[in-house]
Amino acid sequence: MWFLNLELRQALYLCPSTCSEYVTGEGIPKDRDYEPRTICEHLQYLFALLQNSNRRYIDPSGFVKALGLDTGQQQDAQEFSKLFMSLLEDTLSKQKNPDVRNIVQKQFCGEYAYVTVCNQCGRESKLISKFYELELNIQGHKQLTDCITEFLKEEKLEGDNRYFCETCQSKQNATRKIRLLSLPCTLNLQLMRFVFDRQTGHKKKLNTYIGFSELLDMEPFMEQKDGVSVYELSAVLIHRGVSAYSGHYIAHVKDPQTGEWYKFNDEDIEKMEGKKLQLGIEEDLAEPSKSQTRKPKCGKGTHCSRNAYMLVYRLQTREKSVTAEVPAFLQELVERDNCKFEEWCNEMADMRKQSVVRGKIKHEEVKELYQRLPAEAGCPYEFVSLEWLQKWLDESAPPKPIDNTACLCSHGKLHPDKISIMKRISEYVADYFYRRYGGGPRLNVKALCKDCVVERCRILRLKNQLNEDYKTVTNLLKITVKGNDGFWVGKSSLRSWRQLALEQLNEQDDDADQSNGKMNGDAQSKDESNEEKREEEEELNFNEDLVCPHGDLCISENERKVVSKEAWMKLKQYFPKAPEFPYSKECCSQCKILEREGEENEALHKMMASEQKTALQNLFQDKCRPCLGSWPQETDELYIVSQFFVEEWRKFVRRPTRCSPVSSVGNSALLCPHGGLMFTFASMTKEDSKLIALMWPSEWEAIQKLFVVDHVIKIIRMQTAETSPESMLFDSEPKLCPECREGLLCQQQRDLREYSQATIYVHKVVDNKKVMKEAAPELNVSSSEAEEEREEAKPEGEQDPDFNQTNGGAKRQKISHQNYIVYQKQGIRRSTRHRKVRGEKALLVSANQTLKELKIQIMHAFSVAPFDQNLSIDGKILNDDTATLGDLGVIPESVILLKADEPIADYAAMDDVMQGKEDFVIIL
């Protein structure tokens, strides 16, 4: 469309080049490709190629790259046109030549005024603005002129929307409308087919028909009717598709010199028959719709389209058409490109000729050998790879050397199962192939592997016999075995022996199918993969479910059964390597010893758990626990242990046979690397109370007797006779470490501002009332969340999900200050688990995400447009769309209140907001 604007093309040709070789007149070296440096130079070069190149189409990749566009994302073409015109206008404004400097304003820029008239005093207020296109609403209209009329119609300002008149010095009823002051030579009319659908929260395309004429008289719409205002249609931009987020763009543009219409569809350019615009084909190709209206009849000189989204009109003039001549510098570049293109065409033609010659030679060769290819009865023959033979027949290029390794067995001979991928040919043709193309190995009549044939027959015989043997073994298993003649077989193996036998036979069959490893030249990797496969399936081998870890008969009689000798002999035919255990075989002595030790350990664990539970009954039941907030009068000293120790100990006491005993108290996790306490007295009564457990002195004495204590942590009440409870002072051993405590708090705050993929909750407020979870928590908590809150005893060795430490306190790894931060964070997360309230929705967000992006998420979750959302957190209004969630203080597990405004009827404004026109930036 820009190329066929001759005035714009000629102005761009007049722009001086920044290329130093051109400026100095030396010319560009032929051994170096021309690389435009500015946007204008890119457009110059593109226009010159479009005008005089011999190519069928021009690739604008260099121009696209210079603009910094993302070719993987489809964007609105009209929006791009507006932004690029602004860039071009700014770039050309620095030119000295006025014809170049003012080309964008002269061709595309017009003026209109927003006029407001006070109904009381009649005062007019004007705001003059420039425009490069008129954005016309098409909803509810059938003709282009109706759309323009609505664009210019009066709007009444009444009620709350009254206008403040400076003459009256008060708000008055008024009227407002747009008046067209001047029109450009090229009038761009944007048909707003993409509108916002409030129900779905997305943009949609209006597929309604709009009628427009080839001649458009704008005089009735102008404020001053003293100029020439008749325009003729010069371009129609089509968006083909039913969705606003996908589709295909096509341009119909009129050549101003010849008056002929062209259709530009990517690299396909089609000249229309005659000199008339034809849109019928484009309308037929559009996707059908159930609600599609019937196409209205169009008179002479008019057109109807439901896919046209931009119309371009040119001012009708009787002046002679402008001629745009390509400058000598650009013409030289075009001719150089034409030479390269001609050379490429010649190379392609030579390649085609060579291909034809090779094809003729190959045809003669195939014609000569094809009749002698089959081996006649009684004549010598050889086997050749069928795949290679097909390539020899199909491809014009000479095939690679013959490769028969894919059909070889592990003995280096022809595998009987690979006959199907081979072709038997005469010895005469085989001699010709190997003499001309080489390769191998050659496989004659003696190449078939006898060993593989015998093994294959054995496996087939066993497979056929398997069903009969299964019935025989099933009957033999029903017979009661007397004496010591029987054999022990695993019950699991007996249940699945037929399937195991079939799998084993298939594996043997597959092993027999394997080649000697030379096919891909990677025998080692194949052997390794087979070894890994055997290791993975080792547990499925027959009767190995009776083998104990020491390689002997297991001690559990519930897992085995005695079978007769006849049954065992049948099974041995299929599993010759299966472990054999006669009935008289003794069980593993080591397993018996371990079994006794295990029983003793269980008894010991039960005794330990009972003793510890009796000594620490209140701690186990969590009754009568001391609290710093209300210091008990019975003592002046309290002791601290980690809550993790208490939880692990309770698990052991509840299930001593399934959990390992806790042997030590690991208080080092509560201390910093310098040995100082990491908690203040205030934090131990609030946010850190879930990480520690306070102990009575009597309990501490019992703990010291039952466990190994690495560090003693004690809280001491400092008081005198005059000290009141409100002014109570405390001391600790060891002392608080202020530096590490401050570092921990800073790290926690930093983590809250640098999170990613964390959960927050958005609660929609209805009538300014929020349903609080405290009002009825049993109604607001889901069953799954209640289940999570319930403590569960886990099997031995299973890790606690909130504290990644081992069960044994003595084996627990000492954690550094950094590790403690993780420990602290996990503990906080556990103690502040959010219980979702009805009407809330959980969203995954990151700290670097902007508030505007969060509003888009909320729109999809609650169907509330971003500009209707009023968000707040802890009483603070969130209104800076460009600020990040971290800067706004939105941390994981936060609850954001959403209050939705009443819907508005200004769909055009809504569509502007959703398209984000103010934020749409292309880096140029």
**Which phi and psi (to 5°) does residue 349 adopt?**
-65, -40
pLDDT at position 118 is: 92
Helix spans in 658-782 (H): 681-684, 697-706, 738-753, 777-780
Helix axes 450-477, 565-574, angle to 10 degrees: 150
Q: Are strands 155-157 and 174-182 parallel, antiparallel or unpaired?
A: antiparallel
Contacts of 46 (CB under 8 A, 6+ apart): 3, 58, 60, 63
Q: Is the pLDDT of residue 674 over 50?
A: yes
pLDDT at position 397 is: 62
Confidence of residue 149 (pLDDT cuts 50, 70, 90): very high
- What's the CA gap between 559 and 732, in Å, rounded? 59
* 624 half-sphere exposure, CB direction, 13 A CA radius: 8
- What's the CA gap between 132 and 81, in Å, rounded? 10
Contacts of 358 (CB under 8 A, 6+ apart): 396, 397
Six-digit token string for 481: 């075995």
Among the listed ranges 404-418, 560-574, 706-720, 827-841, which one has the minimum average pLDDT value?
Answer: 827-841
Contacts of 231 (CB under 8 A, 6+ apart): 187, 215, 216, 217, 218, 313, 314, 315, 316
Report pLDDT digits (tens) over 441-450. 888 878 888 8
Q: Is the peptide bond before 399 cis (omega within 30 degrees of 0)?
A: no
pLDDT at position 511 is: 61
**CA torsion 373→378→383→389, rounded to 10°?**
10
Environment class of 404 (CB within 10 Å of its CB; exposed 0-12, middle 13-18, buried 19+):
buried
Report pLDDT digits (tens) over 553-584. 888 878 888 888 888 888 888 888 888 888 88
pLDDT at position 20 is: 46
Report pLDDT digits (tens) over 88-140. 888 888 888 888 889 899 989 999 999 999 988 888 888 999 999 999 998 88
Percent pLDDT > 70 in the chain is: 81
Q: Which of 804, 851, 806 is nearest to 829 (CA)?
A: 804
- What's the CA gap between 824 and 679, in Å, rounded? 11
Between 513 and 68, residue with greater pLDDT: 68
Between 514 and 839, residue with greater pLDDT: 839
Report pLDDT digits (tens) over 890-910. 888 889 999 887 654 443 333
* 533 half-sphere exposure, CB direction, 13 A CA radius: 10
Among the listed ranges 247-251, 514-518, 561-565, which one has the minimum average pLDDT value?
Answer: 514-518
Residues in the chain: 924
Question: 3-class SS at 146?
Answer: helix
Average pLDDT score, the chain: 78
Six-digit token string for 800: 């606690």
pLDDT at position 826 is: 36
Q: Which residue has the tokens 């509003």?
A: 855
What 214-221 contacts at long range (C-beta under 8 Å, 24+ apart), as own/partner pairs, is 214/277, 214/301, 214/302, 214/303, 215/301, 215/316, 216/144, 216/145, 216/187, 216/313, 218/180, 218/183, 218/187, 221/148, 221/149, 221/152, 221/180
Q: Is the pLDDT of residue 834 over 50?
A: yes
Report pLDDT digits (tens) over 14-47. 888 776 455 445 556 666 677 888 888 899 899 9
- What's the CA gap between 764 and 864, in Å, rounded? 10
Six-digit token string for 893: 């597990």
pLDDT at position 762 is: 92
Report pLDDT digits (tens) over 345-370. 999 999 888 888 877 777 777 777 77
| CA pseudo-torsion sign 781, 782, 788, 790 | positive
pLDDT at position 54 is: 92
Environment class of 750 (CB within 10 Å of its CB; exposed 0-12, middle 13-18, buried 19+):
exposed
Q: Is the pLDDT of residue 786 over 70?
A: no
Q: Which of 652, 732, 663 is nearest to 694 (CA)?
A: 732
Q: Which of 805, 817, 825 is nearest to 755 (CA)?
A: 825
Q: Which of 564, 660, 552 is nearest to 604 (CA)?
A: 660
Helix spans in 221-378 (H): 280-285, 328-370
pLDDT at position 799 is: 38
- What's the CA gap between 276 and 301, in Å, rounded? 9
Q: Which of 116-130, 233-247, 462-476 has the highest mean pLDDT?
A: 116-130
Q: Are 451 and 414 in contact (CB under 8 A)?
A: no
Between 768 and 598, residue with greater pLDDT: 598
Domains, in order of start, for the chain: 2-98+329-349 (no CATH), 118-183+186-281+296-315 (3.90.70.10), 374-448 (no CATH), 461-506+540-587 (no CATH), 615-720+728-749 (3.30.2230), 758-766+837-900 (3.10.20.90)
Among the listed ranges 106-110, 410-414, 811-815, 859-863, which one has the minimum average pLDDT value?
Answer: 811-815
**CA distances to 311, 750, 776 from 193, in Å:** 12, 47, 49
Give me the amino acid identity at 153: K
Report pLDDT digits (tens) over 724-756. 545 567 788 888 888 887 877 777 777 766 787
Among the listed ranges 120-134, 228-242, 495-509, which one has the minimum average pLDDT value?
Answer: 495-509
Q: Is the pLDDT of residue 311 over 90?
A: yes
Confidence of residue 825 (pLDDT cuts 50, 70, 90): very low
Percent pLDDT > 90 in the chain is: 10
Six-digit token string for 462: 């066993």
Burial 46-78 (b: 16+ CB within 10 A, else e): bbbbbbebeeeebebeebeebbeeeeeeeebeb
| For range 762-785, the mean pLDDT | 48
Between 363 and 222, residue with greater pLDDT: 222
Strand residue runs (E) in 401-523: 402-403, 422-426, 439-440, 487-490
CB count in 10 Å sphere of residue 744: 19
Among the listed ranges 365-374, 711-720, 746-755, 826-835, which one has the minimum average pLDDT value?
Answer: 826-835
Q: Is the pLDDT of residue 587 over 60?
A: yes
Burial 841-854 (b: 16+ CB within 10 A, else e): eebebebebbbebb
Confidence of residue 915 (pLDDT cuts 50, 70, 90): very low
Q: Which of 183, 187, 186, 261 is nearest to 7 (CA)?
A: 186
Six-digit token string for 429: 């043709």
pLDDT at position 234 is: 92
Q: Is the peptide bond before 441 cis (omega within 30 degrees of 0)?
A: yes
Confidence of residue 482 (pLDDT cuts 50, 70, 90): confident
Q: Which of 906, 908, 917 is nearest to 192 (CA)?
A: 908
Which helix (H) or strand (E) covers residue 265, if one does?
Answer: strand 261-265
Q: Is the pLDDT of residue 287 over 60?
A: no
